[in-house]
Structure 1
Amino acid sequence: MSLLRVLLAAATVATSLLAGGAPALADKVMVTDVLGRKVEVEAPVQRVILGEGRQMYVVAALDKDDPFKRVVAWRDDLPKADPDSYKQYLARYPQVAKLPSFGGMKEGAFDIEQAIALKPDVLFLNIEAKVASDEASLVEKLAAVGIPVVYVDFREKPFQNTEPSLRLMGKLFGRETVAEDFIAFRAAEIARVTDRLAKVQGLKRPLVMMERAGGYSDDCCMSFGNENFGKMVDIAGGKNFASDLIPGTFGTVNPEAVVAANPDVVVITGGNWGAYVPGGAWVGLGPGSDLTEARRKLAGLARRPAFSQTKAVKDGRVHAIWHQFYNSPYQFVAIQEIATWLHPELFKDLDAEATLKTLHERFLPLPYQPGYWVTVERK
């Protein structure tokens, strides 16, 4: 530790003691990220760069009282991919508008010089950025100036990596207790579904067609394999149609295959994607969304050839759910809502909206607003 850092640390201790509080000193800690990399970081971190803006879903839970106090820069995806949440943050924390931002790693839009100039204690990257970061030798270049890179994951394999990612970020933030509280809450809410399903003899699992970002393009149909929303369907007591067709987390299925399978339930992920596809057929969902308009657009997607003659449409079992459940540690809320769609009698007393409200009250700095899911009107 340099003389300057020693003096600064001593000043921090003195100030803390005078205020009657416990001193909080940074120290080198060795952590293992979700790729198994051993990384040394000075923690608790005070200056972080978020390799994806939607990592705020985690940061906000860890630093509820002041979610942006450590963030010195972030990727520019939150205002585009989840503008409703961004507007909420902007209204409450106007300084967000001045936060330095950068483009995606895959697009080669990450500015290494800018990152170095901001002197972060750590850069958090999602694992899907690894190929691009390797090609740019990003980790090596930042390591040369003492900036560690840590990989987390809430999207590619969320049911394997969400808890380790939460623990990792909690440790680096010095918020281990909050992270463990969140993990326990998440596990308990998932168990409300799985424990009840486990007691059902001969459980009949409805066949579910899970469409990823329906209406985002004219093509049909992007879907999920046996992870992410595909795994959520299975946990909620359904059979994910595309699990046997898509070998990884994400992929596409042929519309004719959907028609032939004749799914019992259709669930489409939606978000307010006007920044990407203005005027698109996507179902606008998110905090404060117009659910009447979302329901109208969902009905339009249900009329496409892949779905129009399916049992799901004929029985009025077509739903849409907030896309960003796929990229946050909040998957347990989606599991609960999907469970009520798949087994309405078994879960008639389960209220996913109440769970989402509790999540906001206990862990998040923003007030709850409805708008996260919608169902077609039965005729």
Structure 2
Amino acid sequence: MLRIVIAILIALVPAVAFGGEQAAGDKQAPTIVTDIAGREVRVNAPVKRILLGEGRQLYLIASLESKDPLARIVAWRNDLIEADPATYAQYLQAFPRLADVPAFKGQENGLIDIESTIVLKPDVVLLNLEAKRANEDAEYVEKLAELNIPVLYIDFRHYPLQNTEKTIRLLGKIMGREARAEEIIAFRHQAMARVSDVLDRARPPRPRVFIERIGGYADDCCLSFGAENFGNYVELAGGHNIGSDFIPTTFGQLNPEQVIASNPEHVVITSADWAAYVPGGHWIPLGPGADPDVTRKKLEWFTERSAYTDIAAQKTRNFHAIWHQFYNSPYEFIAVQQLAKWFHPDLFADLDPDATFAEYHRRFLPIEFRPGYAISLSDSPS
């Protein structure tokens, strides 16, 4: 049935939809690249029509193409609109035609909207690594290949410290922005070194840290991270991630009794404005422009969770909240800086993650930096 639909769409769509109206730029040429899944894929580069299998891929597209990040985007999934409304509002204000970019629904590990993809005829489809199994089981990748629509897998989420820079270089190559990609990578290295160099010299004791993942999105406790993603960020910031002791994969869950027995000295909640998903929930609306009085008040609710009864962090008020989207973006170096400042305030008194992120915005992004990505109770009165 799908093949019949494809044939009908091909017959009905005018030739212009198949790349007849390319954006101005360099002449395209066949190029072989290797994606994050290790697949060798042929693309016509520089690509001029990109379909984003996840809207939050805009974070990197905009970094590489800051003058007009929409020039190459023909469609995107609607997750950024719903999961990060404050950032979406910033881009919409800067580029009003963003509202007209076709958006489709979907899930992080789900199937792409193949009919829309066929109609739009992009030069490349970008999918997150976790969507690989579903799309290949459905043979969508092969079906698109028959129409000369290549698919590339990228990754910020499952192995970000291993794959983010590979992803930056991959997109830099297919977009003809290799020099820009290297500038971004150099900035990341410098930002991370401001933490690692200090820790290598001082070698401080590592506090026990529990990361509560997607705090307020659901009532369940206690979703967390294993040794990857935020679990890895904790280690890079000079802490010990409790989840790494029990969770064998990137994502997992601990029971409240185990959290209490582990007695974390710091609790870090990852959260965001999820009004689109959980209206009135306990989520903390972190993100650009967030009101610190509001986010601090919402963080207070977490101190009374049963999983944190009489733990060390409760006694010292070392409860912190950080923007959840750091787990799925090229910005994780900001999260590492912020965590290091919370875990070792004396060592990192002069470190300012907001200033680092503001500089990244100034150099690489088409929107202004607005604070609001983190909040803590340890620096507020009891």
Task: After TM superposition, give the deviation of residue 108 of structure 1 in Å.
Answer: 5.5
Partner SS for 1:151: strand
Match of 1:155 in 2: 157
Output aligned runs, 1:59-138, within 5 Å: 59-104=61-106, 110-138=112-140
Task: After TM superposition, give the deviation of residue 24 of structure 1 in Å.
Answer: 2.1
Match of 1:221 in 2: 222
Match of 2:327 in 1: 326
- 1:199 and 1:310 mapped to 2: Cα distance? 30
Using a 3 Å threshold, how does the CA distance of structure 1 residues 229 and 108 change in structure 2: closer, same or farther?
Answer: closer
Deviation per residue, 1:262-320 (Å, 9 max, x gap): 11111000100000000000111000112211111110011111114211121011100
Deviation per residue, 1:228-261 (Å, 9 max, x gap): 0000000000000110111010000111111111
Match of 1:174 in 2: 176
Alignment of 1:378 onto 2:381: yes
Question: What runs of 5+ residues in structure 1 fail to find an aligned partner?
Answer: 17-22
Structure 1 contact 50–75 (Cα < 8 Å) conserved: yes
- 2:88 and 2:58 mapped to 1: Cα distance? 10
- 1:199 and 1:360 mapped to 2: Cα distance? 30
Return 74-83 or 307-316, whichever deviates more.
Answer: 307-316
Deviation per residue, 1:79-135 (Å, 9 max, x gap): 111011011111111111111111225686632121111110000000010111012
Match of 1:19 in 2: none
Match of 1:44 in 2: 46
Structure 1 contact 105–132 (Cα < 8 Å) conserved: no
- 1:143 and 1:300 mapped to 2: Cα distance? 50
Match of 2:349 in 1: 348
Instruction: Specify the code of the residue in structure 2 equivalent to 1:366.
Output: I
Task: After TM superposition, give the deviation of residue 63 of structure 1 in Å.
Answer: 0.5
Partner SS for 2:306: coil
Task: After TM superposition, give the deviation of residue 337 of structure 1 in Å.
Answer: 0.8
Instruction: Specify the code of the residue in structure 1 equivalent to 2:76.
Output: W
Partner SS for 2:333: helix
Instruction: Specify the code of the residue in structure 2 equivalent to 1:192.
Output: R
Alignment of 1:231 onto 2:228: no
Task: After TM superposition, give the deviation of residue 219 of structure 1 in Å.
Answer: 1.0
Task: After TM superposition, give the deviation of residue 78 of structure 1 in Å.
Answer: 0.5
Q: 1:186 aligns with which of 185, 188, 192?
A: 188
Instruction: Specify the code of the residue in structure 1 equivalent to 2:128.
Output: N
Structure 2 contact 109–130 (Cα < 8 Å) conserved: no
Using a 3 Å threshold, how does the CA distance of structure 1 residues 263 and 106 change in structure 2: closer, same or farther?
Answer: closer
Match of 1:254 in 2: 255
Structure 2 contact 110–131 (Cα < 8 Å) conserved: no
Partner SS for 1:42: strand
Instruction: Specify the code of the residue in structure 1 equivalent to 2:259.
Output: V
Output aligned runs, 1:20-59, within 5 Å: 24-59=26-61
Q: How high is the sequence identity, in percent, across the aligned residues?
A: 52
Partner SS for 1:65: coil
- 1:297 and 1:37 mapped to 2: Cα distance? 44
Question: What runs of 5+ residues in structure 2 fail to find an aligned partner?
Answer: 1-14
Output aligned runs, 1:243-322, within 5 Å: 243-322=244-323
Partner SS for 2:267: strand
- 1:348 and 1:107 mapped to 2: Cα distance? 40
Using a 3 Å threshold, how does the CA distance of structure 1 residues 105 and 334 change in structure 2: closer, same or farther?
Answer: closer
Q: Taking structure 1 as the reference length, what is the TM-score of the superposition?
A: 0.92
Match of 1:20 in 2: none
Instruction: Specify the code of the residue in structure 2 equivalent to 1:71.
Output: I
Instruction: Specify the code of the residue in structure 1 equivalent to 2:283.
Output: W
- 1:156 and 1:378 mapped to 2: Cα distance? 37
- 2:309 and 2:109 mapped to 1: Cα distance? 37
- 1:378 and 1:207 mapped to 2: Cα distance? 23
- 1:168 and 1:212 mapped to 2: Cα distance? 29
Equivalent pairs, count: 362
